[in-house]
Amino acid sequence: MIPTSPEKKQLLSKMIWGADLPTSDVVELLASHDTLCKKLTCCHIADKCHSNNDLALLTANLLLRDASDANPTVRSASISALAALPGIEESAVRVLTSALSDQAAMVRRCGALGCVKLFDHAPEAILECGLTDALYDGLRDSDPIVITNCILALDHILQTEGGIVVNKNIAHYLLSRIMQFSECNAVYVLTILLRYSPKSEEELILLLNALDELLLSRAPAVLVAVVKLFLHWTQDHPHLKKDMLEMIQPSVCKILSRNVSETSYLLLDFLSTLGDICKVFGPHYKYFLVRAKDPGYLKTQKLKVLPLISTENNVCCLMEEVKPFCSDYQSFRSAVSCMGLLAKVSHAAHNMCLSMLVTLLDAPAERVVIAALECLMNVVLSLPSVEKNINESSPNPALSKSSSLGNVEVQNHTTLEESLSQLSIHTEEFKPEPKAPSVPQNELELPQDLTDAIVRALSQEHVQEAAPSLVLYVLGTLAPYLDSAPDILQRISSLAFSPSVHADLVMAAAQTFISRPAQTQLLLAAILARAFKCAGEPASRAALIYATLQEHPSDAAFLLGATVKQSLCCNTEECQEQLLEGSD
């Protein structure tokens, strides 16, 4: 019962707010017969005893007396305070040893945690008196919270030795009791069990059988923890993963159907790390769909997971569900990126994506247009015919695959540096004959309405200013399909660029020249002339490209990764003449 004395109420109020009280007042409150007053006072003593030596000396006897009180609540509070008091380690050890075997579970819980408090200021007292053995004995306690507290205490005390040692007997015993633990404690115990590895196939089967009931848990944290443990124990048996996914599928769908944002995010984030899950979760894709009222972070996470559960049977439905979120201010970038990944699943999804991109490229918001251009390049460069052409035309395997377009500027620079670093070796080993360059004909076909939308998007000044590297990358890569590529390049070249973007301009100009030499020769010469006047790396890159185009245009086409249509290819002598005339 709360004390009725106004003075005690005032002192307790100050104590709760962390104020320093006179030692005499603390002793008076500790001597009270009110249980709540004693608990609050013991917490205050444990918090202030290290900065007030008198407080520890004057309250030690009272706490030792209360440690044998008939009330388990009073015993628990006094034991926690005694474990924190400096200078009375011997008495604290006796009290803690007695507490670990107390009849009341509450006292045993405080006894285990009291060992942690005592270890923090007197580690030698714990290690020399054998309390660790008592804590190991506590692992077989009838109360699951006592077991958890003993594990926590042992792991803290033995941290210099790698923490608690989990042997075969402990692992099997903990798993046999795991269903008695609360959700939080079960997660902690399952995490500790990651330190144990089965010693035989028979033992592995026994342990996995013990996990079956946990794999059906509807608690997200427990489900994630038990899946991690299952994967750890079966890392040498990957064929068991599919069976595990089929077991957790009903629980996962049930948790997602609750529409609790935090737990859904936790589960989706974990599912994204499991690899191939489409066969198991693909038929149940409706549980993963994005909702308009989902918070932004959950929308983004769901859009990351949708490609992982996409199949040829559901991909078109997923595309329709993702489409409205391509203009959502919170998730437009993730939605457009998701659409690009879904387009790789089937030919029908690819065509749907291209038709959606036509609308997105004409969007009024520049950020949506930029995201659509990134998606376009991911979709175009993922086609088998394009990948084959790039692989055949690139002497460096690192150039055969296009990475994410999130940082196009870095990608362009890396491609250029790697290409030119190979040039000296490549030209020494291979001397091309003065014939038309042997470049495979690209089978890529872009719809006319899409190419028109691309031209309109690349022609927007605010898009050019917001993402110049991306615009130049798209322009150089798709130059054979864009009749207006030279005109767009000329308008872009008049803008003021940073030195890093200037290298992208030279790159795009060289790629466009290879596809359309007659229309671009003068513009390329002007861009290169500007590059020679720029100080630093852009000028050196431009000089290397210029020399390459003069001497070996076919090599330049290979190294630049330019897309060249067969009908537009010219022979080496014609390229040399046109470029030399333009540079003059």
pLDDT tens string 315-338: 999 999 999 999 888 889 999 999
Say how far apart CA 279 and CA 217 lie, in whole Å.
Answer: 21
> In this structure, what is the dihedral angle of CA atoms 128, 132, 137, 141, given to the nearest 10 degrees?
130
Count: domains in the chain: 3
| In-domain check, residue 249 | no
Q: For 345-361, what is the mean pLDDT?
A: 93
Q: What is the pLDDT of residue 384?
A: 54
Alpha-carbon gap, residue 579 to 518, rounded angstroms:
9
pLDDT, tens digit (0-9, with 9 covering 90-100), for 378-394: 888 876 544 444 444 33
In whole angstroms, give the CA distance from residue 143 to residue 341: 50
Residues spanned by the domain of 127? 1-165
**Residue that finishes a domain, picked among 116, 137, 165:** 165
Residues 320 and 425 reside in one and the same domain:
no
Instruction: Tell whether 15 and 113 lie within a shared domain.
Output: yes
Is residue 61 within 8 A of residue 37, CB to CB? The reply is no
CA atoms of 457 and 508, how far apart (whole Å) = 17
Distance CA 80, CA 74 (A): 10
Write out pLDDT tens, residues 82-112.
Answer: 998 888 888 999 999 999 999 999 999 999 9
**Using alpha carbons only, how large is the chain's radius of gyration in Å?**
35
Is 272 part of a structural domain of the chain? no
Please, which pLDDT band fits residue 566 given cuts at 50, 70 and 90? very low
C-alpha 80/C-alpha 102 separation (Å) is 14
Both 118 and 159 in a single domain? yes
Domain co-membership, 5 together with 149 = yes
Identify the residue with better confidence: 454 or 557: 454
- Kindly state whether residues 18 and 114 are assigned to the same domain: yes
Alpha helices in 306-383 (DSSP H): 315-322, 332-342, 347-361, 366-381
Location of structure tokens 């030195």: 499
Q: Any idea which of 111-115, 197-201, 394-398, 546-550 has the lowest mean pLDDT?
A: 394-398
303 within domain boundaries: yes
CA distances for 554 relative to 345, 394, 420, 515, 570, angstroms: 35, 12, 14, 12, 10
Segment 128-155, tens digit of pLDDT: 888 999 999 999 999 999 999 999 999 9
Which percentage of the chain shows pLDDT scores above 90? 52
| Closest alpha carbon to 402 in 389, 443, 38 | 389
The predicted pLDDT at position 16 comes to 73
This prediction has a pTM of 0.77
Instruction: Indicate whether 147 belongs to any domain.
Output: yes
Measured between alpha carbons, how far apart are the two ends of the chain, in Å?
99
Domain end call among 361, 377, 412: 361
Helix (H, G, I), strand (E, B) or coil at 536: coil
pLDDT at 205 (0 to 100): 94
Residues 301, 396 share a domain: no
Model pLDDT for residues 149-185, shown as the tens digit of each residue: 999 999 999 999 999 999 999 999 999 999 999 999 9
- Per DSSP, 460 falls in state -
> Quick one: 324 and 410 in the same domain?
no
Tokens describing residue 121: 């200021």
User: Residues, the chain, total?
Assistant: 584
Using the predicted structure, report yes or no on whether residue 508 has a pLDDT greater than 50: yes
Note whether residue 412 is domain-resident.
yes
Residues 6+ apart with CB under 8 A from 7: none
395 and 334 within one domain? no
Q: What does the DSSP assignment read for 119-166?
A: HHH-HHHHHHHTHHHHHHHGGG-SSHHHHHHHHHHHHHHTGGGTS---
Task: Tell me how far apart the alpha carbons of residues 410 and 469 are, in angstroms, rounded to a whole number.
Answer: 9
Per-residue pLDDT tens digits for 193-210: 999 999 999 999 999 999
Looking up tokens 């009272």, which residue turns up? Answer: 62
DSSP code at position 401: S
Quick one: which of 292, 321, 320, 289 has its CA closest to 305? 289
Does residue 413 have a pLDDT over 80? no
In a domain, 81, yes or no: yes
Domain identity same for 84 and 12: yes
Distances (CA, A) of 156 to 116, 187, 195: 7, 17, 15
The HSE-up count of residue 341 (CA atoms within 13 Å, CB side) is: 20
Give dist(CA 507, CA 501) in Å, integer: 10
**Burial class, 361, CB count within 10 angstroms (exposed 0-12 / middle 13-18 / buried 19+):** buried
Residues 6+ away with beta carbon under 8 Å from 231: 241, 244
Q: Check which CATH number belongs to the domain holding 110 and give it.
A: 1.25.10.10
pLDDT tens digit sequence for 265-290:
999 999 999 989 999 999 999 999 99
Q: Region 366-384: what's the mean pLDDT?
A: 87
User: Residue 567 above 50 pLDDT?
Assistant: no
